[in-house]
Amino acid sequence: MKKLFIALGLALCATAVFAQPKLQKNNIDEVLKAMTLEEKATLLVGSGWGSMVAGAMTASNETLVSGAAGTTRAIPRLGIPQTVLADGPAGIRINPTRPGTDQTFYATGFPVGTVLASTWNTPLVEELTTAMGEEVKEYGADVLLAPGLDLHRNPLCGRNFEYFSEDPLLTGKMAAAYVRGIQSNGVGVSSKHYAANDQETNRMENDSRINPRALREMTLKGFEIMVKESDPWTIMSSYNKLNGTYTQQSYDLLTTILRDEWGFGGIVMTDWGNKAGTAKAVIAGNDLMEPGMDNEIKRIVDGVRNGTIPEADVDRNVRRMLEFIVRTPRFAGYKYSNKPDLAGHAKLVREATPEGLVLLENEGVLPLKGVKKVALYGVGSYDFIAGGTGSGNVNKAYVRNVAEGLRVNGLEVNADIEKWYGQHIALKKTEAANNASGSTGVLLGDAVIPEMEVSRSFIDKMEKVTDIAVLTISRNAGEGGDRKAEDGDWTLTGSERKMLQDLCDSYHVDGKKVIVVLNIGGVIETASWKHIPDAVLLAWTPGQEGGYAIADVLCGAAYPSGKLPMTFPVRYFDIPSSFNFPYNYSGTNSMNPLGGNGELDEDTAALAAAFGFSIQKQPNVDYTEYKEGIWVGYRYFGTAGKEVSYPFGYGLGYTTFAYSAPAVKVTKDGTVTASVTVKNTGAAAGKEAVQLYIAAPAGGLVKPVKELRAFAKTRELAPGESQTLTMTVDPYTLASFNEATSAWEMAAGEYKAMFGASSEDIRQAVTFKEAKPQSWPVHPVLLPEKPIEEIKVK
């Protein structure tokens, strides 16, 4: 009898083993049912921290893809593989070399997000990210942690270079194009950082406090457009709090708005950390904790056992994880080559980059003619900055500098000047390597090499033997810190100013020209010096082919057609958010100076009280009030009539365009179709980005004098050639958010459609009528504890 029981038991066990389902696309329910609680929790937590490799946080994924930022955990019993998550957004970030092989794994350094936005060309962005996605797939990753689409709320945010624009529509359209391109390869994205991660200072704890209108119209709008127009596989919740709650623990943000209102169907993962409130994150709909630690698994298991996490919430998140996993190349067993088309992508990047370069000034000097010998100044001319620092930095095989670019375009770079810079750069790099203070921290990477002092007599001597001077001015920034409103960052240093003035004084005497190239990650002050040189080319940090692309533009082998995705103000303090940003924060890192998790624990608070200390939370560090409301960038400057250095949407080219035949049709449901004909009236070929701004009828909600509602770019037009551009705007896009009714509202009445070459250069305008008002009520959620006192603009 006993033997019979044992045999029966063994048989049952065997059946159970054999009955174990293996994950397939069509058996997710069955697999979910077969999972133990521990297994479910395991799937919701990534496989852990590794070492800080090459300047960013990377998990220990040496066995899968070396240097990738994270992985999910495998459950072999159920046929669930690990998946690999690697950083972006300027290309896939992985380790370029691996032990035991001579093969290299460099990735293409694509133009950063700001450059992509400066192209105003969504098909081009999609083409570039289609190429980028091929590298993601061929290097064995499943998800690229990109794009970054927080708003350029303030120009000093250290990660603005990764982000697109001060305008949410441009942001959302660019992000959607980016996502479509990557995902066309059958790999996913993780669009980040959702939401209001608009500063790096104390980014883990800072509380972004925002009124509902600014939140809906500005902070969230880009994400909304991106979700609706591109179906991202995943979204990354940010580190910060939003109106008092960590975004990763906000049900309103991750479920009510993201899924219920916008229809997001993918997974949400945390940004790389380990916050204590794992239970809250699970309930909120944050499916995956990254990079993941065992204590998070325990918290989930304990939470279900002690009733603080409903098991149904765990199941819901696990189901979404399984749905994600079955989409991945790793699940399909894709045999990646580790040999993406790097040569093809380099060519594509070189050709595309000029579309993101913005010509700010050109007093008849560009493209260069009759010039052979170049005096090339500025550290960045030789040590070019391709992209920002931190997790957004791509390990690329090379970076083309301006000197190389000029040479391949047939110009001669003065050898004496090049030699001096070579020595200066080598010396500063050695000093930095020998001296810890030469680095601004692990995440920030190396500081920009300080400019070399160049004497006027040297400049004069070189002037005699060269035809033209080019000066590159460099700035860099990155994850973990914000920029400062001070010399050497926002403004030029004394020695940069002196060099610029000396060069111009010296060269102008002999009728020779001086060109400034700006190799910068974000906006700097330009109003005080922009008229001194003869041309200013804003190159941003445009990726590995930057030096080639710049020289192609300077020499006329390519033409610039970029336009600014943000305003360049005259002064930093002209910006409405200037005082509501840590513009002068002198803390040494991004952690809360109060320590801990940003809250004073009860003991410390009691101790402080006993000693009579009152420890206040520090504005702009522990919390940031978005007092500018919706008045970000051109919305403010245009409406307040405040002078700017360069307006949003501005950029010169090598030709001119005339706009004619503006027309607007409105369908019965209120959809607007606007068209305008653009003619190349100059002597060179060119492309023109046309911006459709719309002014709403007076009365009702206070609105900016104009808001970008659509844009389009022509194909390359030969001199004399025309193209009619047609843009569509649905009524919802015309709507503003009414806090009193918690609804998007589009007023009836007379609107004005303005076709602009920039926000301040409106070339044609027509009015149209919306017959009846429309409204879209949404959940009255995510309110600040008390309303933020906003500035009044009109």
Binding residues for ligand BGC (CB under 6 A): 56-57, 69, 87, 145, 192, 271-272, 391, 479
Classify each residue of 600-618 as buried b or exposed e, where b means 16 or more C-beta atoms within 10 Å of its C-beta.
beeeeeeeeeeeeeeeeeb
Please give the single-letter amino acid code of residue 118: S
CA angle in degrees (0–180, nearest 5) for 745-747-751: 130
Which one of the listed residues 198, 271, 313, 552 is annotated catalytic? 271
Quote the least distance from Cβ 223 to ligand BGC, whole Å: 15
CB of 648 to ligand BGC, least distance (A): 26
Cβ neighbourhood burial of 792 (10 Å; 0-12, 13-18, 19+): exposed
Nearer to ligand BGC among residue 234 and residue 577 (C-beta): 234
Closest CA to 68 of 139, 132, 149, 138: 139
Judged by beta carbon, residue 40 or residue 192, the one nearer ligand BGC is 192
Smaller CB separation from ligand BGC, 289 or 301: 289
Q: How far is the C-alpha of 422 from the C-alpha of 543, rounded, in Å?
A: 21
Q: Count CA atoms within 13 Å of residue 603 on its CB side.
A: 1
Handedness of CA 583, 584, 587, 593 (dihedral sign): negative
Q: Which is nearer to ligand BGC, 313 or 479 (CB)?
A: 479
Comparison of 451 and 479: residue with beta carbon closer to ligand BGC: 479
Round to whole Å and give the CA distance between 26 and 91: 33
Q: Are 586 and 382 in contact (CB under 8 A)?
A: no
Q: Is 425 exposed, middle or buried (0-12, 13-18, 19+ CB in 10 A)?
A: middle
**Distance in Å, CB of 341 to ligand BGC, minimum:** 25
CA distance 270 to 59: 14
**Smaller CB distance to ligand BGC: residue 111 or 292?**
292
Which helix (H) or strand (E) covers residue 564, if one does? none
At its nearest, how many Å lie between ligand BGC and the CB of residue 44? 18
Which residues 6+ apart lie within 8 Å of 290 measured at CB?
46, 69, 70, 85, 236, 269, 270, 271, 272
Closest CA to 161 of 202, 115, 195, 123: 115
- Is the CB of 389 or the CB of 526 nearer to ligand BGC? 389
Residue nearer to ligand BGC on the CB measure, 93 or 627: 93
User: Which residues have a Cβ under 8 Å from the Cβ of 266 and sit 6 or more positions away?
Assistant: 188, 231, 232, 233, 234, 235, 320, 324
Residue 774: count of CB within 10 angstroms of its CB:
18
Which tokens sit at 500?
């610029």
Rounded to whole angstroms, the Cα distance separating 246 from 682 reads 53
Q: Is the CB of 292 or the CB of 651 nearer to ligand BGC?
A: 292
Q: How far is the CB of 591 from ligand BGC (least distance, A)?
A: 13
Q: Which is nearer to ligand BGC, 248 or 414 (CB)?
A: 248
- Are the C-beta atoms of residues 75 and 86 closer than 8 Å to each other? no
Instruction: Give Cα separations from 307 to 248, 279, 310, 315 (angstroms).
Output: 20, 10, 6, 14
Q: How far is the CB of 558 from ligand BGC (least distance, A)?
A: 31
Shortest CB 143 distance to ligand BGC, Å: 10
Beta bridge mates, 674: 664, 727
Cβ distance to ligand BGC smaller for residue 57 or 125: 57
Q: Which residues contact 455 (CB under 8 A, 6 or more apart)?
A: none
Q: Nearer to ligand BGC by C-beta: 85 or 757? A: 85
Residue 777 CB-density burial (10 A; 0-12 exposed, 13-18 middle, 19+ buried): exposed
CB of 391 to ligand BGC, least distance (A): 4
Backbone phi and psi for residue 769, each to the nearest 5 degrees, phi listed first: -115, 140
DSSP labels, 576-631: TTTTSS-TT---SSSS-TT-TTSS--HHHHHHHHHTT---PPPBTTTEEE-TTTT-
| Cα distances (Å, whole numbers) of residue 406 to 373, 528, 560, 622 | 10, 28, 16, 47
Element (H, E) at 210: none
Verify whether residue 167 is a known catalytic residue.
no
CA distance 317 to 254: 12
Instruction: Provide, rounded to whole angstroms, the least separation between the CB of residue 486 and ligand BGC.
Output: 25
Which among 737, 766, 767 has a CA at the least distance from the CA of 750? 767
Shortest CB 145 distance to ligand BGC, Å: 4
- Write down the least CB distance from residue 69 to ligand BGC, Å: 4
The SS3 of residue 234 is strand
- Both tokens assigned to 281: 């994150």
Q: Whole-number minimum distance, CB 204 to ligand BGC, in Å?
A: 9
C-alpha 103, offset from chain centre = 31
**What span, in angstroms and rounded, lies between the C-alpha atoms of 347 and 545?**
8
What's the CA gap between 436 and 43, in Å, rounded? 40
> Among residues 390 and 651, whose Cβ is nearest to ligand BGC?
390
State the Cα–Cα distance between residues 16 and 653, nearest whole angstrom: 70
Closest distance to ligand BGC from the beta carbon of 434 (Å): 28
**Cα R_g (the chain), whole angstroms:** 27
Q: Just list the catalytic residues.
A: 271
